Each structure stands twice: as structure tokens, then as C-alpha cells.
Amino acid sequence: MDTAWNFLAGGAVLGVIASLWTYLKGFVWRAIGLLVRRVEIPTESAHEALTAFLIAHYKRSGNYDHVFGASWDYQRDGRYGLIPYEMFGNRALIFWNGWFPFFFSNQLERKASSTRAGSAANGSDMPGVAKIHSSLTFLRGTLDVEQLLRNACAARNHISWSVEQEQESKKNRFVIHYIPKRTDSDDDFSSGSDGLAWYQQGHYRLLAHTADQLGKARTANGPALENLIFPQRIKDLIREIELWRKSREWYLQKGIPWKRGWLLYGPPGTGKTALARAFAEDLNMPIYVYNLAEMTNHDLMKAWAEMQVNVPCIALLEDIDNVFHGRENIARKNMGMFPMMMPQKSDSDSNGDRPRGMMGPPLTFDCLLNCLDGVERADGIFTIVTTNDISKIDAALGQPRKLPDGSVEFISTRPGRVDKAVELGPMEPADKKRMASRILGAFEGEHLEMIAFIDRFPDLQETPAQFQERCAQIALRCFWKEQAIELAHRERHEPSRNGVR
């Protein structure tokens, strides 16, 4: 009987506790809240900045769930391989602020409505990630979260923004960003909204490399521009970018927007893209390569705004004549893609971006002009537009301007968007001789023959790419001939496998 009464009494007590659990839980949390405080960080950008700052400046407990991985990426020596790393921010961590611990956690919330869309777009059964919520839990009075977040954002801005020349020379800012991203793998391991490559972000710990060892290899051991052969009139302009790069304060004092724009035009193979890349390499600036044919107005405005956190930088709009004829976007027609349906809201990710493989309305010319020279000034951006056919460029963007005597000057018809229109054409005889000397200088006979060929046909129209190939074929034949002679010499003088000479 006593057992039955005890059972009934226990059940009654449990029933009372269950009915009052909501109130009890609230009371307990209020009591705990007098000693412990929990602060949420609801944005991904703040989460990443905070993670990097905590890892760099606070001692952390070694007892946590490690997350390791590897990503394919370029190395500065030209090789392409797997880069191992440890990633922070996806698991809970315990840090120490002096003698006091605090708890940093991250929760990946999944949006139920994105399950089907995420599976279709990503080719997997996993639903798309909606948001990242970080939280800091600590004893009251032991951590100043406001100051912590200010310091974290200041540290991230310091990495992204330009700093003094002495400090700038110590870090490698030359990174190539492709917009839109070229492959699915770029989604996880490329630049974030802060403009930094993934290996430059503080929430990755590289296991076998340093950040300076990663990224696109340089095209030359010395200055990249010295390896490009252009007429003197072009070389005289090259210094303009370097002066612009170092003259931010002068522009501000004069009230002139700290930005420039060039239009490089000429037939294929004249070095337009090579010139843009050489600028970025030599001046240690990131370069953003835009594929306008695959972009909508929203895509371009979002990417252009994100690029501004990584200034000074170069924005490269390649082959714009393949996208716009005048003001008409003809790219979709060339791809055989006629009016497309705009993705539904449920088909987009948390940032409003389109899933890969879906295309919205084509980019408009007015949107492009607004990004280049709209209400919001894009300070710190040097825009380079390339085209093979200058006749297809609308004057509102910028074309070469003719003087009364009919000569063409570099100032464009629309400064502010395109300040200079620079023609890159066939090589001049003097420049051909310089290139021939560089490629064929080690082969005296062939070098002299090429000089004679240039003098015999001074009016032969060849682009740098064409003449370089002409010289390269001769140099390769000479090189392989030397290799064959050297191999035959070694075979005659080295012992055979049987030890007989």
C-alpha cells in the first residue's frame, strides 16, 4: 500500500512540475541571467570577423571538436594542389579573457522551405543553409562584447583596406576574383564579402602553407610590365596607374573622385588582358574579372558593392562588345537563350542570390553605367574595359575622341566612366626587334635572320601574340636541337649498362 501511495505521490509531484515547467524554466533562466549573459551575433559577416579576431587574440581551450579539411587552390610557385587547413567557427569553442572563460558557439539554422530548392541547386539531399547565428556566453562583467565587436570589425577592415606603403609592401594583395564564380567548388573556397581569398581569412588555420605562398603565380620574376612590349606612347600612360594608386589624399583634397577608367581597344592578341593583369601584379592590387554575360542587374550591383571593401583594386570588364552592341545586351541571344523566367523567391538563397544554373533578366546598360559612375561613388576602383570592336561601344560609356585636325587623343568622350580610350594595335618594327632579341637572343644566327625579316617586311601587320608565336616556334626548334645534341653527347661518353665504353 505504501508503495502505491508513494507512486501516486511521485506522479502527482511530476504532474505539478510538468504543468509548471514553463514558469520554472523561465524563473531558472532569469536567476541564471543575473550571473551569466548570452549575446547573439546574427550576421555572417560579423560572425566571420569575430571568429578571426578571437582566434588571433584570445587563448582558447584545446578541448573542442576540430574541423579539418582541404581545398584545391593555386600556389605562388605555379602549382595547383590540395591545401590542408583547420576551420574555426562551425563548432563551439571556449576562450579565456584573462582568468575568466567564455563560450563561443555557432548554430547553422536550416530553412525548411529551402530544402527542395537547395537540393535541386546543389545536387544533394542536404537542405540549403539559411543563416549563421553566433552566440557568446560569459559571466557578467567579465567581457565587453561591444568593444570586442568593434575591435573585430576594425581588424577585418584593416586587412581589407589599403594601408601605408611600408605596411602594404609586406602583404600580398594580388588575388584574381572571378565574378560570377566559375565553378561550384568556388562557392566554399573563394573570396567572401570582405574581398579576401579564403586563405587570407582568419578563421582558417593553414596546416602546411602560409597565406603568402597561395594564390595565382606571377607571370614574371621581375616587374610584369617590363615583360610586355608596347610602343612608348603606351608606356608613358602606364605610370598613370601607379601615380593614381599612391595619390588618394591628393584626390580627396581636390574633391576629385579617387577612381579611373580606361577603355583598351584593338584586335585580339594585342595584350589588353595581359596589360590589366600586369597592372594588378606590379601594383599589388586584387583584380576582379567580370563576366557580364552571365549577370543580372542585382548580381552586378551586389558584386560591385562588395568589391569596394577591398580597394584599391582593378575591375576588369573583358570583351564588352560580346555583351553590348550599343545599349542592347546581345549576350543572351548569342547563347541561344531567349527571355528567361525570374527565379521565385523560394528558389533563392538567404542573400537573395540566384541558384547556380538559373538566369534572371539580362544586365541592362543603364545599370552598368550607374555602377561605373552613379550616385554612389566607387572610390578606389580602377576600371579597365576591353573590346575588340570599338564601333560597338556606346558613346555614353566612352569612345576615343577626335581633335579638329582628325587625330585621336586618349581622352574619351565620357570621362568619369572611361577617362582614357587607349588603342592597342599591331606591333611596330622597333618593338618587334626588342621581342626578337628577348626570345632569340641566345641563338645568334636565328636572331639575325629575324631582324632581317623585320627590315624586309616593315609593314607586315602582326599582333604581339602573333609575332611572339613566330619567334617562339624558331626558339623551340633551336632548343630541342640543342637538347638532342646534348643527349647524344652524353650517350657517347657515359658508360653503358654493361659497363662497356
pTM of the complete model: 0.75
Q: Which residue has the higher pLDDT, 266 or 202?
A: 266
CA distance linking residue 111 with residue 96, whole number of Å = 33
Question: Who's near 497: CB < 8 A, 6+ residues apart?
Answer: none
The maximal CA–CA distance of the chain, rounded, in angstroms, is 122
pLDDT category of residue 119 using cuts at 50, 70 and 90: very low
| Sign of the torsion angle spanned by Cα atoms 113, 118, 123, 124 | negative
* Residue 452 pLDDT exceeds 90: yes
Mean predicted lDDT score pLDDT of the chain: 78
What pLDDT does 260 receive? 87
What phi and psi values does residue 464 have, to the nearest 5 degrees? Answer: -55, -40
Q: Which residue has the higher pLDDT, 131 or 136?
A: 136
CA distance linking residue 189 with residue 210, whole number of Å = 16
Do residues 418 and 400 make contact, with C-beta atoms less than 8 angstroms apart? no
What pLDDT does 1 receive? 57
CA distance linking residue 325 with residue 303, whole number of Å = 23
Q: What percent of the chain shows pLDDT beyond 90?
A: 24
Element (H, E) at 104: strand 100-110
**Residue 395 to residues 326, 330, 372, 414, Cα–Cα distance (Å):** 8, 17, 14, 7
CA distance linking residue 191 with residue 197, whole number of Å = 4
The predicted-structure confidence for 247-288, as pLDDT tens digits, reads as follows 888 888 888 888 888 999 989 888 888 888 888 888 888 899
In DSSP notation, 319-346 reads -GGGTEEBTEE-HHHHTT--SPPPPPGG
**Residue 8 to residues 2, 4, 16, 18, 416, Cα–Cα distance (Å):** 10, 6, 12, 15, 85
What pLDDT does 340 receive? 47
The predicted-structure confidence for 103-116, as pLDDT tens digits, reads as follows 998 865 444 344 43
CA distance linking residue 324 with residue 329, whole number of Å = 5
Average pLDDT over residues 127-135: 59
CA distance linking residue 111 with residue 270, whole number of Å = 50
